Amino acid sequence: MHYHFLGDTDIKVSQICLGTMTWGNQNSQSEAFEQLDYALDQGINFVDTAELYAIPPELSTYGATETIIGNWIKKSGRRSEIILASKVCGPTAWCPHIRKGEAKLDHKNIFSAVDGSLERLQTDYLDLYQVHWPERGTNYFGKLGYEESSYDHATPIEETLNSLGELVRQGKVRHIGISNETPWGAMQYLNASREQLLPRIVSIQNPYSLLNRTFEIGLAEISHREKVGLLAYSPLGFGTLSGKYLGGTHPEKGRITLFPHYQRYSTEQGIKATKAYVALAREHGIDPAQMALSFIHSRPFVTSTIIGATTMEQLRCNIASMEIDLSEQVSEAINDIHRKLPNPCP
């Protein structure tokens, strides 16, 4: 396993981060425990979760993932072996079960959220605490185009950062990060930390995959030069880049099989690109999922790649992607497909 510094901190996190959002819905507690034990035995020390999880968000599963992780921490006694990250929700009108659908990124909501997370996780601190999505109308969760929004007059980023800084001063959180952010948002956080001498964001968790390389357009340079490393989520595009959904197949317990409204990576152009990437991998004798993950690992602005698995077979395959070094020929072929079918699923 390879390790990278988390931003400008002295913390080293594994190149692969264990994603957890299926635990408490698609995965049982015992399955989650097995994944955690195996991942740590393979050198993974980075675990990412959120108050929102399990996915899809529902009242019955709110906080379930954190509860499972907390139960594992209590049972295993291995809290000191992991870098534990969680997230506070942005505005939740679409999740009325979270703070009555009125969650904001202000002092009251942030402190309420972190206290709930710490209790469920059965720990007294988080290594990384992230803003899950912005409290303003902008481009995230696959939204294209920019329109003026009423959220533009929501909690100022400076106020959010002040609240996060207070968590750091109190010792509840070691470091802070952002997620689903834009270049403007990232620079607002960085500028506010400089001007007001507040804690600096050390990471940004955004989608990044062969089907969505939009991070490279405006955020990659910020990430690289400012040492705000990318924690790449959805590196397999809801599992589509494994090729398992091609030809109209619907594997039992697959995410898109269970939740067919998750169509972000199943557009006409997305399927066309997926076919090309899967064919390229097979032509060179590489597992398609491992090729897709290996590409992400190789990017200089990526601190860690967040993988999620519902079976141990998937988890073993995904972790083994660390052993794959893409040849120059394969890398150039990937870029050739990207030039022909750029970012089909932003």
Per-residue pLDDT of the chain (346 residues; tens, 9 = 90+): 999 999 999 999 999 999 999 999 999 999 999 999 999 999 999 999 999 999 999 999 999 999 999 999 999 999 999 999 999 999 988 899 999 998 999 999 999 999 999 999 999 999 999 999 999 888 888 877 777 776 666 899 999 999 999 999 999 999 999 999 999 999 999 999 999 999 999 999 999 999 999 999 999 999 999 999 999 999 999 999 999 989 878 777 777 777 877 788 888 999 999 999 999 999 999 999 999 999 999 999 999 999 999 999 999 999 999 999 999 999 999 999 999 999 999 9
Q: How many CB atoms lie within 10 A of CB 134?
A: 25
CA dist 61 to 114, 116, 129, Å? 17, 14, 21
- What is the residue range of 173's domain? 3-340
CA torsion sign, 37 to 39 to 44 to 49?
negative
Instruction: Kindly report the backbone phi and psi dihedral angles of residue 7, in degrees, each rounded to the nearest multiple of 5, phi listed first.
Output: 60, -135
Residue 47 counted as domain residue? yes
pLDDT in tens, 185-195: 999 999 999 99
Cis status of the peptide bond prior to 54, with omega within 30 of 0: yes
Residue 48 counted as domain residue? yes
E-only strand ranges, 40-166? 46-48, 83-88, 126-131
Residue 161 counted as domain residue? yes
Instruction: Kindly report the backbone phi and psi dihedral angles of residue 290, in degrees, each rounded to the nearest multiple of 5, phi listed first.
Output: -70, -35
Q: Half-sphere exposure (CA, 13 Å, Cβ side) for 31?
A: 18
Residue 345 counted as domain residue? no
Residue 204 counted as domain residue? yes
Total domains in the fold of the chain: 1
Assign residue 19 the CATH number of its domain. 3.20.20.100
**Do 206 and 216 form a contact (C-beta atoms < 8 A)?**
no
Residue 33 counted as domain residue? yes
Task: Calculate the CA 45 to chain-centre distance.
Answer: 15
pLDDT in tens, 139-185: 888 877 777 776 666 899 999 999 999 999 999 999 999 999 999 99
Instruction: Kindly report the backbone phi and psi dihedral angles of residue 107, in degrees, each rounded to the nearest multiple of 5, phi listed first.
Output: -55, -50
Cis status of the peptide bond prior to 56, with omega within 30 of 0: yes
Residues tagged active-site: 53
Residue 44 counted as domain residue? yes
Residue 276 counted as domain residue? yes
